[in-house]
Chain A
Amino acid sequence: MDLLPFLVTQCLNAFSQAALLFFLGVGLTLIFGIMRIVNFAHGTFYMLGAFVGYTTVRITGSFWLALVVAPLVAGSIGAAFELGLLRRLYRRDASAFLMVTFGLTLVLEEVIRLTWGVQALQVEVPDLFAGIVFLFDEPFPVYRLFLAGAGVVVAIAIWQFLERTRLGLLIRATSQNSEMVHALGVDVNMVRSGIFGIGCGLAALGGVLAAPLVTASLGMAANAIIDAFVIVIIGGMGSFLGSLIAAVLVAFVQVFGNYYFPDFALAAMYLLMLLVLVIRPGGLLGKEA
């Protein structure tokens, strides 16, 4: 295989992977930035997204509807969890959140297992993107191109949402000084519930998009939560741009690592993370050391 086609396809592969990682990481980092909560259940919401997506496709036959339904379901559960439980813990130290969301992980995983069973469920690639294209005479799945495109679109959408809308403004303000925002008459608690829901919804969106590639299975959550943590840590906790950069970095390490030294690909991601943390303990764009 020639070098140029190889590089192009591998890079596109990496970008489609980066898009999935970005959906995972950005929700986690938003939640951390605003609420100082490390959401251990994030990977489980990603998995929930894939399963709800599967069912939606089964019933309605529409992948596009699944892209709406799954984030809504996961987002509502997330927001309800914040309202019911997390809200009572704001006076406690950060480890309480980590542990309560770990408990939620156990519960949700079991609920998912009881509802959908233990078998991996295949979600069909939507017809529109089912084929392959030839790039420099190399076959490449259209769906991966779509993923990379979706990543760019969602990244721009979130960025514009944070910069241009009133809710985005409130979110940024709350992450900087929640007491001041509260004093100015904003219901900070509602902002928090909202952002927790949005974060979980984004994870579920990633889950639906990943489902045609990896099938919806019970192992998804464990891998996803580790990937999400790695991205957030590399990018810097609470940094939107950081999570974007980290997702691309990690995706490239994963894709090229898998190709050149498959035996070490698993370790390469953690080595990258250790390297970043040793140089910048707060992550690439993180504020705190």
Chain B
Amino acid sequence: MPLLLLVVAALLAAAPLVLPVFVLTLLTEALILGLFAMSLDLMVGYTRLISFGHAAAYGLGAYGAGYILLHSATPLPLAILAASLFAGVVAVGVAWVCTMATGVSFSMLTLAFAQLLFAIAFKWTSVTGASDGLAGIPRRAGPFGLTVFETKVGYYELALFCLGVAYVFCRALVNAPFGAVLRGIRENEAKMLSLGYNTRLYKIAVVAISFALGGLAGALYSPFAGFANTDLVYWLFSGQVLIMVIVGGQGTLLGPILGAAFFMLVQQVLSKWTESWALFFGLIFIGFVMFAPEGIWGLLSRWRVRA
């Protein structure tokens, strides 16, 4: 399995040699969305913390990076890192409140927080540009005179690198004792509590990590697209990323990445021959929830076992 992954990663890294630019642009976006979906999987798949407001993480990262790049001379990679950290720090506060509730109430609280951020982004004109958003976010050169990230190919490799590092980090995290506690919370939180684990601290930690990685995805997106607007914090986007996780296969890390790629692919293909792609997308999604709750990843591994 790790070997196969390495091969795929190498193929992706070499992709710019053969692929035309517009495919590369789509692929970059898919990688960024994949990172975003994977970050949510830590909460949804491993801890059963169903967040309906994960767009908040993306928005924090996107606006954070955009603001830093527009208002200072910070080099691109540093700005992205700083924005990601910013999302993680804000998440500690968010998680502290949200983890007071469990189950559906938790989901609703995350939704409330995301909408609160949406309201702020919509109204705080001097910082967020209100309904226009932040436009003209530069892909600045540096550090040390490095100009590679200014190009489409360079940015693609940067996104791929970030996704790779984040995946290795997440895999290590869920394999570590920390991950075992998360799975314990998922299966039976009361039991973990009586075993002496302060489950709330673990939940806050996983939300913070998930937000930092989601923020990283957002921070990668806004210089890539050149803008950040309120759509990135809107609840519809939170719903979409949840779809990516479920359709891809929750609790597998790689599944949600596939889910994000699938989402992009379906959107691209369907929007070519019908304006109502959302209609078919909704039907596909319902189909997955009804008949293949384990997602694409589950279907793939079932097929692999049989073969």
Q: What is A's interface to B at a CB cutoff of 8 Å?
A: 38, 40, 85, 88-89, 92, 94-96, 98-100, 102-107, 109-111, 113-114, 222, 226, 229-230, 233, 237, 263-264, 266-267, 270-271, 273-274, 277-278, 281-283, 288-289
Could you tell me which residues of chain B, from 68 to 105, have a CB within 8 Å of some CB in chain A? 97, 100-105
Residues of chain A within 8 A (CB-CB) of B112 are 230, 233, 270, 273-274, 277
Where chain A touches its partner, the secondary structure class is helix
Quick check: is B116 within 8 A (CB to CB) of the other chain? yes
Instruction: Report how many residues on chain B are interfacial, defined by Cβ distance under 8 Å.
Output: 38
A-B contact count (CB 8 A): 108
Q: How far is the CA of A281 from the CA of B101 in the complex (A)?
A: 6
Cα separation A106 to B270 with both chains bound (whole Å): 14
Task: Say yes or no: B279 contacts A107, CB within 8 Å.
Answer: yes
Asked if B123 is at the interface (CB within 8 A of a chain A CB), the reply is yes
Q: A274, B289: Cβ atoms under 8 Å? A: no
CB of B120 within 8 A of CB of A267, answer: yes
Query: Are B115 and A226 in touch, CB under 8 angstroms?
Result: yes
Which A residues are CB-close (under 8 A) to B123?
263-264, 266-267
Rounded to whole angstroms, the CA-CA distance of A263 and B122 in the bound complex is 9
Q: When chains A and B are docked, how far (Å) is the Cα of A229 from the Cα of B107?
A: 11
The answer to whether the Cβ of B1 comes within 8 Å of any Cβ in the partner chain is no
Interface: B281 (CB within 8 A): yes
How far is B104's CA from A288's CA once the two chains are assembled, in angstroms? 11
> Once the chains bind, are B107 and A278 in contact (CB under 8 Å)?
no
Is B235 within 8 A of A110, CB to CB?
Answer: no
Given known contacts A110-B278, A274-B112, A103 and B119 CB-to-CB distance under 8 angstroms: no
Contact at B119–A270, with CB atoms within 8 Å? yes
A288 CA / B290 CA spacing, docked (Å): 28
| Residues in B lying within 8 Å of A, measured CB to CB | 50, 52, 97, 100-105, 107-109, 111-113, 115-116, 119-120, 122-123, 235-236, 239, 242-243, 246, 276, 278-279, 281-283, 285-286, 289-290, 293
Residue contact B246 to A278, C-beta cutoff 8 Å: no
Residue contact B282 to A110, C-beta cutoff 8 Å: yes
5 further A-B pairs in the complex, CB-CB below 8 A; given A95-B50, A281-B100: A98-B50, A99-B285, A100-B289, A103-B283, A107-B283
B282 and A85: CB pair below 8 A? no
The chain A residue sitting closest to B98, CB to CB, is: A277
Q: For A271, what are the chain B residues with a Cβ–Cβ distance below 8 Å?
A: 116
Q: How far is the CA of A177 from the CA of B289 in the complex (A)?
A: 27
Q: Are A96 and B293 in contact (CB under 8 A)?
A: yes
Q: Which residues of B contact A107 (CB under 8 A)?
A: 278-279, 282-283, 286
Q: Which residues of A contact B279 (CB under 8 A)?
A: 106-107, 110-111, 114
Q: Is the CB of B283 within 8 A of A281?
A: no
Alpha-carbon gap, A277 to B106, bound state (A): 10
Chain B residue numbers with a CB within 8 Å of A229 are 108, 111
Q: Say whether B104 contacts A94, CB under 8 Å.
A: yes
Bound-state Cα–Cα, A278 to B99, Å = 10
CA distance A89 to B287 in the complex (A): 12
Q: Establish whether residues A104 and B100, one from each chain, have CB atoms under 8 Å apart when the complex forms.
A: no
